[in-house]
Structure 1
C-alpha cells in the first residue's frame, strides 16, 4: 500500500476540526489518491467519517454523492457516518432508503451499527414508531441495538415499552441496567429507579459511575439519606474516582437530605482541576438553599478567581442567595453583570429571582417595573415569586389578584393555594382562607407522601 496513503489516512482519522479535515482532503487529491483507479470504499468511508465528526455535514453528503458517481459502492461502514451527519429527518429518510436499496436494511442483513444509528436518530427526533420498525427489522439484534432502543423509548416517554423490552432481553449488561435507571430518573419515576437499582445489585452486575450518578439523583429527590450514604460508601470502598459528575451528584444528594456539612466536605474532596461548572453550581446552590448566604456568594467569587466561567445555573444560585438575604444591591450588581461581563442573557428563572429579591425587600413597584420590562411574557414562576413577596409584605390586594391568576395558570400547584390561603388568613379573611383549602381538597391536590426502603450496596 502507498505509504503516503497510510500516513494521510492516519491524519484523516486524527482530524479534530473541519479545517484540518479539508487540509488532509486536499493532500489526498493532490497526491492522486482520489482517482478512479485507486479509490476504495475504505478511503471514501474514512473521509466521510472525518467530515461527519466536524462541523461540515453538508460536505459529508457531497462526498457520498461523489462516491456514487465514481461507482464506488457504499457498505455497512458508510452509512453510520451519514446517519450521524443528517441535519434533518427528511435527509435521514433519504439515507434510510439508500440503505435498503443497497441491501443493508432487510431482515438478517441489517447491520448492527446501522441499526443502532437509525434507532438513535429516530428516537432523538421523536419518531419512536419508526425506531420500533427499524428495531424489528432485525431478527437477532445485538445488545447494543437493544440498549439503544431502550434509550429511545425513554427519550419519548414510552416507559411501558422500555420495561417490556428490558424484561425480554436474553442478556443485560451494565449499559442495559444504567439505561433503565437513567431513563426512570429523567422521567422523574424515582421509586422505579430504586426498584431497578435493587434488582441490579441482585443480578451481580456492578454499577458504574453513570449508574450511581442517576441513582444518587433519585435519592436526592426522595431525600433518601441512608441509601445515599450507602452509595457514597460504595464509591469509597471501590476506590472510584470522585469526578465532577460523581461529586456533583453527592453534593446534591447530601444538600437535599439536609446535610450541608457533608455536601461541602465532598466539594472539598473533588480535585480542583476536576471541578466542572456543575460541581461549583451544586455547591453554591446547596449553600444558598441552607441559608449560608455569605458562603454561597464567597464561593461564587472564588469560582471566578479559579477561572471557571459562570453559566445560567450559577446565576440562579447567586441570585437566590441574594434574595434570601435581602441583598438588593448585590443582587442588582450580579444581575447586571450577566450579559455585560459574562455573556449570559437573563432567562425566566433569573427574572423570577430578581422579582423575589425586590418584592421581599418591600420594593414592589420596582418588582412590577422589572416584570414590565422583561423581553418576554412572564410565566407562572415569575408570578409565583411576586405572590410570595405579597405574602411576606402582607399586600392582600395585589396578592389576591396575582394569586387567583397563578391558580388559574397552574390549577394543580399546591403552593399557589397555600400562599393565597395564608395571605387571606393573615388579613383575617378566614372564609376565603378556608375556601382555598376546600378548593384544594375538591381538586384532589395533596402533598407528596414520604417513603423509605432498605437495601445494601456491597
Structure 2
C-alpha cells in the first residue's frame, strides 16, 4: 500500500530479523522509488541472497541509472535469469539496444522472458528481422512469446505477417489460445489492412470466449 513509515516501524520492532524480512523492506523502498533508503537497507543487511541483489539492480535499472546497476551486477556473488533480464530491460529502456543484446548473448541460461524482452525492444526500434531471428530460435513457444511477435509485426506495419502468426498459433499442432493482448494486435492488423471480414471474425471469437472489448 506504500505506507513505508508504518512498514519501517514494524520492521524495526522485529527481533531476530531473517533475510525474508530484510528483502520485504528492501523491495518496499524500491517499489516506492526511494533508492536512497533501499540502498541503506541493502548496506545494513547482515546476509544478502540473490533476491536482495536483484531488488537493488532492478531499482537502479527502473531509475535508468545503468552505471550503478552494472556496478552492482558485477559484484553479485550469484546471478539468476532475473538478474540478467533486469539488465537487459534496463538497457532497452535507455535505448541502448546493442548493450542489451550483448547481455542477452552472454546469458548462461535464457528463458522466455529474456526472448520476449529482446523482441519487444527490437519492436520499439523497428528492427523486425532481428526480432524474427530470436523468435525463430525458440523451440517451445508460449502465448506470451506469440503475443510479443504478433505485436511486433502489428506495431511495425507488417499486418499480413501479424495475422499469419495469429492463425498459426491456433493450428492443432500449436494450439495456443489467444488472449486480450493477442486480439488487440490482431484487430490493429485488420485495421491496417482494411480487412473487415477478419475483424468481424475476431469480434465473434471474442464473444464466444467471453472476452469483453475494452
Q: Structure 2-normalised TM-score? A: 0.76
- Contact 2:166/2:186, CA 8 A, preserved across alignment: no
Q: What is the CA deviation profile of residues 49-105 of structure 1, one whole-angstrom value per residue up to 9, with x for unaligned ones?
A: xxxxxxxxxxxxxxxxxxxxxxxxxxxxxxxxxxxxxxxxxxxxxxxxxxxxxxxxx
Match of 1:230 in 2: 37
| Structure with the larger RCO, 1 or 2 (CA within 8 Å, 6+ apart) | 2
Alignment of 1:22-421 (within 5 A): 190-191=1-2, 194=4, 197-205=7-15, 207-220=17-30, 222=31, 224-226=32-34, 228-238=35-45, 240-241=47-48, 243-271=49-77, 274-303=78-107, 308-339=108-139, 345-374=140-169, 375=174, 376-386=176-186, 395=192, 397=194, 401=199, 409=211
SS of the equivalent of 2:177 reads coil
- Contact 2:11/2:21, CA 8 A, preserved across alignment: no
Q: Structure 1-normalised TM-score? A: 0.39
Bigger-Rg structure (1/2): 1
Query: Take 2:124 and 2:56, find their aligned partners in 1: how far apart are those partners?
Result: 24
Provide closer, same or farther for how the CA distance between residues 385 and 314 of structure 1 changes in structure 2, counting only shifts above 3 A: same
Provide closer, same or farther for how the CA distance between residues 248 and 202 of structure 1 changes in structure 2, counting only shifts above 3 A: closer
> Once superposed, what is the RMSD of the aligned Cα atoms?
3.3
Q: What is the CA deviation profile of residues 9-32 of structure 1, one whole-angstrom value per residue up to 9, with x for unaligned ones?
A: xxxxxxxxxxxxxxxxxxxxxxxx
Deviation at 1:365, TM superposition (A): 0.2
- Contact 1:248/1:278, CA 8 A, preserved across alignment: yes
Query: Take 1:236 and 1:371, find their aligned partners in 2: how far apart are those partners?
Result: 48
Provide closer, same or farther for how the CA distance between residues 213 and 286 of structure 1 changes in structure 2, counting only shifts above 3 A: farther
Deviation at 1:294, TM superposition (A): 1.6
Q: What is the CA deviation profile of residues 390-421 of structure 1, one whole-angstrom value per residue up to 9, with x for unaligned ones?
A: 6xxx839569x59x958x8356xxxx5xxxxx
Query: Take 2:212 and 2:2, find their aligned partners in 1: how far apart are those partners?
Result: 25
Gaps of 5+ in 1: 1-189, 340-344, 417-458
Deviation at 1:318, TM superposition (A): 1.9
